[in-house]
Amino acid sequence: MTENSIQNTPAQRPGGNYFGAVLAVAWKDLAAELRSRELLSAMLIFALLVILIFNFSLQLDRTTRESVTAGVLWVTFAFAGTLGLNRSMAIEKDRGCLDGLLLAPVDRSAIYFGKAISNLAFMLIVEAIVLPVYFVLYNPRNFFNPGFLGVILLGSIGYVAVGTLLSTMAVQARTRDVLLPILLFPLVIPVLVSAVQASMGFLSGQPFEEILPWLNLLLVYDVIFIAAAFMAFDYVVEE
Amino acid sequence: MSTQPRALIVLNVVSVILLAAAYYASLVYAPLEAVMGQVQRLFYFHVATAWVGMIGFVLAAVAGIAYLWKKDLKWDAISLAAVEISLIFFFIAIVLGSIWARPIWGTWWTWEPRLTTAAILQMIYLAYLLLRQGIEDPEKRARFGAIYTLLGGISVPLTFVSIRIFRSIHPVVIGAGGAEAQGSFSMAPVMVQVMLFSIFAFSVIFVTLFWHRMRLGSLESRVEQLKLKVMQ
Amino acid sequence: MDTPDTLNYMLAGYIVFSVTFFGYLVYLWRRWRGLQAEEQNLKEIEANE
């Protein structure tokens, strides 16, 4: 909110205030995590364990493995993502940060975007580590092509957009940890289906026109749900 | 306030009659279908309950919006009643559909778009109930429930589309080959009659059940309030 | 064309429907009775205070 005696610094101009608030919220989480690394290590170890379990539970020859790579990776990211979303919100609530943030004279949605960005960052960092590890272990073809990486990004964005909002609700329930996956998974099915199919497409070198419907669906989902979550957030945190 | 209003008593009687009539219509009055045999009769109840279950979900979503707008807990009670009853109806629809599919397509389940979306919708209903169970404050419970119904409502069409595209790329390979195509059968006029009657009957039954469930909800909140008063 | 004998499936379906539907009615009724009893109790406690 601008007052008369405002100085013309970016963080204090009207538009700058919002954006500044978003970055401040996001940076708060990232900086805290850079110091403690508790969230990232938990997510990472979990993700690597899931990959390991897949290796033993799905005894696959090379060709079959090619076809399940996308699915295995996305299941891993979905579960690790849930872990991150849960912990991120729980830390917020337990330290009373959420209430403090809500008192700040800034649009509520800025808090949502800030949290979503930090959650996305955590998920991307985990993915950035898991992918090379998977590559070293299994040597899949076409792995680091831009299309595949783009799908990972788009899918993570959709997942985190809905997940951040739902985790804000779930953290306030008694059944907090178990509730988030139950709430989240039915809603992100379009993301998982599209992301896996598009990933498979890029990894197996399918022509772009065949992958396009999936990318479109991902984009539509991301746009719709970022908008929906952004509008709903006000209702979730109102007192 | 535990005696039923006259209108509800009338509805009770009407519903019983309609249900009995639906049993009769589907089991006796409807002709035997040549291609599938007796199991086709399940179709009437399957479609009727599925249809009514869908309406219930829409009702829950609309009531959710109404709650967020008006903040009157009555809308929340409507949402909850609608979801609970739709959960039952949809469960019936899915199971009947599965039983019907087994002798016809040779499989208890097929990942075709409508069926899969129905299963996911059922999950969303259950998630809604679990969300409510975990929250004690009635106002917060209502608010969160409403938001979840809305988000669920937005995701369901997207889910349906995604599975449709998936199926067009990966058609059914199981023995039933073209299972979805075989799913339809031509309905004689008598069958259409029975189908429409079933849908009508179950709609009335839904309204009656809904009313009863609403009364139950009111009693529940009265008891809650009494508990709070007595504990002081 | 031979009409297949799917009578057992049909019966299974109607049984599932009936059990679920009437089971839900019974469930509602029992909840109602339970709550009524609770309401009675609480009213007595309130009256005695």
Give dist(CA A10, CA A13) in Å, integer.
6
Contacts with B143 from chain A: Cβ below 8 Å: 235-236, 238
Phi (first) and psi of residue B22, to 5 degrees: -65, -45
What's the distance, CA A74 to chain centroid?
12
Chain A residues with CB under 8 Å of B154 CB are 224-225, 228
SS3 content of chain A, % helix, strand, coil (to 5): 85, 0, 15
For chain B, percent of residues with pLDDT exceeding 70: 93
Residue A239 has pLDDT above 70, yes or no: no
Give tens-digit pLDDT for A212-224: 999 999 999 999 9
Domains in chain C: boundaries? 23-49
Q: What is the pTM of this model?
A: 0.87
Check C17 against B35: CB less than 8 A apart: no
**Phi/psi of residue A108, nearest 5 degrees:** -55, -40
B194 Cβ contact partners less than 8 Å away, ≥ 6 residues apart: B25, B26, B29, B30, B44
Say yes or no to pLDDT of A24 above 90.
Answer: no
Mutate to test the interface with B, among C11, C31, C35, C36 (most CBs of B within 10 A): C35
Evaluate whether residue B3 is within a structural domain.
no
Count of domains for chain B: 1
ipTM confidence score: 0.88
Amino acid present at A161: A
What pLDDT band is residue C28 in, cutting at 50, 70 and 90?
very high
Helix, strand counts (H, E) of chain A: 9, 0
User: How confident is the model over B116-168, as pLDDT tens digits?
Assistant: 888 999 999 999 999 999 998 889 999 999 999 999 989 999 999 888 888 88
pLDDT at residue A10 greater than cutoff 80: no
**CA pair distance B143, B79, nearest whole angstrom:** 11
B56 interfacial to chain A (CB closer than 8 Å): no
The band of C1, judged by pLDDT with boundaries at 50, 70 and 90, is: low
* Cα C40 from Cα C49, distance rounded (Å): 14
The C-alpha of C32 sits at a distance from chain B's nearest C-alpha, in angstroms, of 6
Q: pLDDT, tens digit, for every residue of A47-64? A: 989 888 888 887 767 777
Q: Which two tokens stand for residue A79?
A: 């579960």
Q: Which residue of C has its CA nearest to B26?
A: C14
| Residue B102 resides in a domain | yes
Q: Of B37, B103, B216, which is closest to C31 when you measure between CB atoms?
A: B216
Question: What are A155-206's pLDDT values in tens digits?
Answer: 999 999 999 999 999 998 888 889 999 999 999 999 999 999 999 999 888 8
Torsion, Cα of B63, B64, B66, B67 (10° steps) = 120
pLDDT of residue B230: 82
pLDDT at site C3: 75
Q: What is the DSSP string of B95-130?
A: HHHHHHHHHHHS-S----HHHHHHHHHHHHHHHHHH
Domain extent for B199: 41-231
Question: Is B84 within the bounds of a domain?
Answer: yes
Residue of higher predicted confidence among B186 and A14: B186
- Biggest CA-to-CA distance, chain C: 78
The pLDDT score that the predictor gives to residue C7 is 87
